Amino acid sequence: MCGLVGIIGHSPVNQILYDGLTLIQHRGQDAAGMATSDGKHVFLRKDNGLVKDVFRTRHMSQLFGAMGIGHVRYPTAGTDSRAEAQPFYVNSPYGIALGHNGNLTNAEALGKELFLHDRRQLNTASDSEILLNVLAHELMATLETSKLRAKPEDVFRAVRGVMRRCQGAYAVVAMIVGVGIIGFRDACGIRPLVYGTKQEPGGVSHMLASESVAMDVTGYSLIRDIAPGEAVFVALDGSVHTAVCATKTRRAPCIFEYVYLARPDSILDGIPVYQTRINMGIRLGKRLRSEWPDHDIDVVIPVPDTSRTSALEMAKVLDLPYREGFIKNRYIGRTFIMPGQTERKKSVRYKLNAIGAEFKNRNVLLVDDSIVRGTTSRQLVDLAREAGARKVYFASAAPPVRYPNVYGIDMPCRSELIANGRDVQDICREIGADKLIYQNLDDLIMSVRECDTMIDEFDTSCFSGEYVTDDVTDEYLDFLDINRNDSNKTARRRSELDLSELTEVQEAAH
């Protein structure tokens, strides 16, 4: 997952972009970037690290202009190096900077096509650079040689070309120098993108962002979600133009956004994330009470932070005390999105510490939002036992994650998913719990759907193995298995670090 912000207004946007990226930092902690324009030039800053570390005062003072886009990234397969921080930029036509959240499932074929037919050279392995070059090529193809400035219909024609060629999931914000800003989503609307406005002294400022929370805190009013297959273009004069650019659309957002990815105070596709997590806790609590009426649980303890809402509702349904048993070190990033198994194991121990009094001589129910690799769950169970718990039960607000996500969430290969090929009893033994209960998939879907009955369906592929784009083959999943396993990632990261160190030595020598 990644986070996007795009702004076009009447005053410098660098500070609001910074604030917006900080508000969606949870969507990516590996790299951050920002590109702004004064209408003639592009000013770009990007690097590995958190927003606060990438953008110092000296960088911010050089990001001029009343139009810009920003991006936060977490490391996905093949995109661990500094060179693949976003936004990406090409200088023709006009100059385009682009940020992307998602994953192109036909990236390999598109990369070859761009080189052989479109005569475009790619410098990274990132599918976001591929998407940028497809957009640039399609926009160039729509323009007549005598046309000095692209019109809205030219931009939409280019986006139609992108949607015709690009498969998979993508939420995109792009800045076209001297033209405006555009945002669009894939035909299924898998990854989120919202639009809002704010009144400024010089007129209306427009924002596109991955989550509504970026607007709430910066003073923008949420207008609506970008619809699946839709493009919203805001020209330099502030005029807003919209068009559905995909030939066939359906609303099928990723349900994992509501389970884990999004902030609870965000609203995605008209659905309040916080309310969905309340519903998840209620339904899971009712299921536990029905399947285990004579339980001996003494206390319900959440795994901070995402599961707190669901855990509290479970405690209410079960008529049990709710306690904070783990204290979180807030200076450690989200372990789900940390690269490498060794780093994840280390970070869990550093991130959470148990309050012994809440565990000692008690039968505790630990509640987490999901179980992916099982690494965190196993260590949590160990921490609870070390703190004196008699028995440790575990509940997941999401169903078993048995399949990889191919739409922009860097879930591991199938062999590294603890639920792949195992039943609940096997998983329970693997994490060392005395009992394990999962959310039912139908209950999860209803937990989100009851907040908005207009959703056609949800992408539940990591739970069900059913991929909404209908183009995910066994061969493609085998390809992901090779690229996403931790050993291959570690080898790539080492080679990239070696290359980075060599580059720094060469720069120092000059």
Q: What are the catalytic residues?
A: 2
Which 3-state string (H, E, C) describes 283-301? HHHHHHHHHCCCCCCCEEE
Say how far residue 60 (Cα) sits from the centre of its chain.
25
Residue 316, φ and ψ in degrees, nearest 5: -65, -45
Rounded Cα distance, 31 and 73, in Å: 5
96-104 and 88-90 as β-strands: parallel, antiparallel, unpaired?
antiparallel
Rounded Cα distance, 406 and 398, in Å: 18
According to DSSP, residue 47 is labeled: E
- Beta bridge partners of residue 310, listed in sequence order: none
Quick count: other Cβ atoms within 10 Å of Cβ 164?
Answer: 13
Token readout for 473 is 């083959």
Rounded Cα distance, 307 and 309, in Å: 6
User: What angle, 0 to 180 degrees and rounded to 10, lies between the N-to-C axes of helices 127-142 and 107-116?
Assistant: 50
In the chain, the N- to C-terminal Cα span, in Å, equals 37
The CA–CA distances, whole Å, from 36 to 14, 57, 103, 495 equal 7, 15, 24, 32
**Beta strands, E only, 166-282:** 168-176, 180-185, 194-200, 203-209, 221-225, 230-235, 240-244, 267-268, 271-272
- Buried/exposed code over 243-279 (b: 16+ C-beta within 10 A; e: otherwise): bbbbeebebbbbbbbbbbbbbbebbbbebbbbbbbbb
Say how far residue 391 (Cα) sits from the centre of its chain.
35
